[in-house]
Structure 1
Amino acid sequence: MQQDKHPDYHEVVFRDRSAGYAFLTRSTATSDRTIEWDDGETYPVVDVEISSESHPFYTGKARTVDSEGRVAAFERRYGGGTGQDG
């Protein structure tokens, strides 16, 4: 295996400011800012706009699409024919 081909993989704190949530993981992401973590160590911190704590899909606040209502509206607008021209 060739040396010096892989990026620096290190521990980083990702912080979701909208949810007030942060988590420590390993990543290649870098940052000039640092944060002191619960273990007393200092890690680079990367602020993100959205994470699993604030994303609507993971929080259960996702909008569901009413596909049946859309089909009915389409048929009302353009005619609910059988699809056979003749």
Structure 2
Amino acid sequence: MQQDKHPDYHQVVFRDRAAGYAFLTRSTAASDQTIEWDDGETYPVVDVEISSESHPFYTGKARTVDSEGRVAQFERRYAGGASSQGG
């Protein structure tokens, strides 16, 4: 096996600024900033804009698009004009 081929895989804290949530995991991400974690150890911290704590899909706040309503609105708006130009 070749040495020095793989990136440094270490423990990193990812901090979601939008939700005020942080979690410790292993990653190859690097950072100059550090944070003291609950266990008393100091780990590099990477700030992220969005995570599963603040993403609308995971939080249940995602909006659904009413596609049937849009199709019906389109048909009401353009139904009369399409039949008159057929000839």
Query: Is this a same-fold pair by TM over 0.5?
Result: yes
What SS does the aligned partner of 1:79 have?
Answer: helix
Higher helix share goes to which structure? 2
| RMSD over equivalenced CA pairs, Å | 1.7
Q: Distance in 1 between matches of 2:3 and 2:74?
A: 60
Q: Which residue of 2 aligns with 1:64?
A: 64
| Equivalent in the alignment of 1:28 | 28
- Give runs of ≥4 in structure 1 deviating > 4 Å: none
Aligned to 1:11: 11
* Structure 2: 5+ residue stretches without partners: none
* Structure 2 Cα separation of the partners of residues 7 and 79 of structure 1: 60
Report the CA distance between 1:78 and its aligned residue.
2.1
CA distance in 2, matches of 1:78, 1:6: 59
| Corresponding residue for residue 48 of structure 1 | 48
Q: TM-score, normalised by structure 1?
A: 0.88
Q: In structure 1, what is the Cα distance between the partners aligned to 2:34 and 2:52?
A: 22
The CA distance in 2 between the partners of 1:78 and 1:51, in whole Å, is: 42
Identify unmatched segments of 5+ residues in structure 1. none
The total of aligned residue pairs comes to: 83
Q: TM-score, normalised by structure 2?
A: 0.87
Identity level (%): 90
Bigger mean CA deviation after superposition, 67-76 or 22-31:
67-76
